[in-house]
């Protein structure tokens, strides 16, 4: 598979950053071109509309999630351990793509909402075989949600508890026992 052109990725990175930092309303074509350091014509060469930019962002997200799902399924420590540890944001490409898609969904984008639901279904699909029932799967998913949410708050004015080190190990062990027994 060939790499997308650097200018295209630069534009997509700029669009993603604006969505995360300033929200969907601020992520205009003009603002994206400025942030990417390209002309409006340069932006339009790669993305003919805001909808095309959004579609490319969701395509990026799908690619990153496919890699994440593969890594989760192959994790030597097991999918539950992998999933919970990676629920603490690292500001890596998948976190940034999820945040940007969330901003689009909050702005009313049906494709973004569908993409986020689909991602959750993919993760649940891997986890399902490692949990005893639907309630145990819900437990794993909700603990992940809580880790992600509290981690997001950590940088803000209302810090949330995010276990680290041995506390994270203990939490994962507890969730795994509850989910598998």
The predicted pLDDT at position 159 comes to 56
67 within domain boundaries: yes
19 within domain boundaries: no
32 within domain boundaries: no
36 within domain boundaries: no
15 within domain boundaries: no
Q: What percent of the chain has pLDDT over 90?
A: 76
23 within domain boundaries: no
Per-residue pLDDT for 64 more than 60?
A: yes
The domain tally of the chain equals: 1
The predicted pLDDT at position 98 comes to 94
Longest Cα–Cα distance of the chain, Å, equals 59
Per-residue pLDDT for 32 more than 80?
A: yes
Domain containing 90 equals: 50-180
More confident residue, 44 or 149: 44
The predicted pLDDT at position 75 comes to 97
8 within domain boundaries: no
56 within domain boundaries: yes
Per-residue pLDDT for 95 more than 80?
A: yes
What is the model's pTM? 0.88
Q: Average pLDDT, whole number, for the chain? A: 91
């Amino acid at each position: 598979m060939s790499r997308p052109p650097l200018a295209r990725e630069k534009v997509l990175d700029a669009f993603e950053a604006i969505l995360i930092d300033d929200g969907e309303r601020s992520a205009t074509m003009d603002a994206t071109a400025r942030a990417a350091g390209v002309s409006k014509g340069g932006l339009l060469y790669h993305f003919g509309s805001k909808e095309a930019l959004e579609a490319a962002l969701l395509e990026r997200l799908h690619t990153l999630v496919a890699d994440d799902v593969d890594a989760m399924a192959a994790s030597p420590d097991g999918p539950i351990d992998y999933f919970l540890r990676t629920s603490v944001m690292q500001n890596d490409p998948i976190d940034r793509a999820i945040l940007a898609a969330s901003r689009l969904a909050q702005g009313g984008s049906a494709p973004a909402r569908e993409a986020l639901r689909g991602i959750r279904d993919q993760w649940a699909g891997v986890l399902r075989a490692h949990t005893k029932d639907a309630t145990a799967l819900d437990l794993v998913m909700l603990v992940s949600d809580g880790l992600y949410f509290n981690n997001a708050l950590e940088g803000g004015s209302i810090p949330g508890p995010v276990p680290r080190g041995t506390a994270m190990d203990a939490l994962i062990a507890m969730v795994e026992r509850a989910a598998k027994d």
